Amino acid sequence: MTITRTTAGKDHTVPEVLNRQAHGLYTAATAVTDYQVFDNRGHSLVFDHGWEDVADDTARWISDHKTGLDTDAGAVSTVSHPSA
């Protein structure tokens, strides 16, 4: 199983700190648990200007994690994406 949380650093509807806490609940899981933050984006990061960056990173994440999951079990990573 793989889990990724894609969040927005300037989300006032679901603040990034809450997303980070929710992500923390999965760190003991035997799954790949990744966390991505798009720093200068708001709650509508998948609809707003630059949504292509979010889509590209999500597609890349899916491609990177569709095979070899047994070797990645338990891996945790955090990626921050400064927005232009």
Count of domains in the chain? 1
Structural domain containing residue 70: 2-81
Mean pLDDT, residues 29-57 taken together:
90
What is the pLDDT, as a whole number, of residue 82? 60
Give ∠ CA 58-59-60 in degrees, rounded to 5.
Answer: 90
What is this structure's pTM? 0.69
Percent over 90 (pLDDT), the chain? 40
Largest pairwise CA distance in the chain: 37
For residue 8, count other CB atoms closer than 10 A to its CB: 26
Mean pLDDT, residues 8-37 taken together:
88
Contact 12, 42 (CB under 8 A): yes
4: confidence class by pLDDT, cuts 50, 70, 90: confident
| Alpha-carbon distances, residue 75 vs 26, 30, 46, 78 (angstroms) | 11, 8, 26, 10
